[in-house]
Amino acid sequence: MTTDPIPDGGAPARVLFICTHNSARSQMAEGLLRARGGDRFAAFSAGTEATEVRPLAVCAMDEVGIDIRGQESKTLHRYLGEPFDLVVTVCDDAREACPVFPGARRMAHWSFEDPSRATGTDEERLAVFRRVRDAIAARVDALVAAGVAGAAGDVPA
């Protein structure tokens, strides 16, 4: 069910995913929405700090046929002053640091564990990235199905 019209008479809904380091969760969310949202969504991601896109995030996304190698880690300051239909914090620290975002029509919070903190072998750590990727994918799929107005956990900004 797609109940949310595309804003501005055809422009895609602009969605920004925010995480602390813009290295894994927000990067995966951006890639998933780009791949699954079609021309109805324009996906972006940023962090309260910029670091690098984690290699295990790239690997986990490769497994589902989504290449995020061209994405870069950036700070949310790049997007200040830009309008967004939905801004989603994907970690608790980002929600605390950025409870509101100027220019956001709606805000949502999706809490996911930080896969970059996983320990163990490479395979054990990759398993955590997969689990987080799959949880994010479920939320992105729900967003695509419901539209921005139906985003679970959202509040008007």
Catalytic residue flag (residue 59): no
Element (H, E) at 109: strand 106-109
Please pick, among 15, 16, 18, 19, the residue that the annotation labels catalytic. 19
**Phi and psi at residue 119, to the nearest 5°:** -120, 170
Cα–Cα dist 134/67, whole Å: 15
User: Which 3 state secondary structure label does DSSP give 75?
Assistant: strand
Please pick, among 91, 128, 136, 143, the residue that the annotation labels catalytic. 91
Q: Which residue, among 86, 85, 83, 101, has the nearest Cα to 47 in the 3D structure? A: 101
Please pick, among 18, 58, 90, 98, the residue that the annotation labels catalytic. 98
- List active site positions: 19, 91, 98
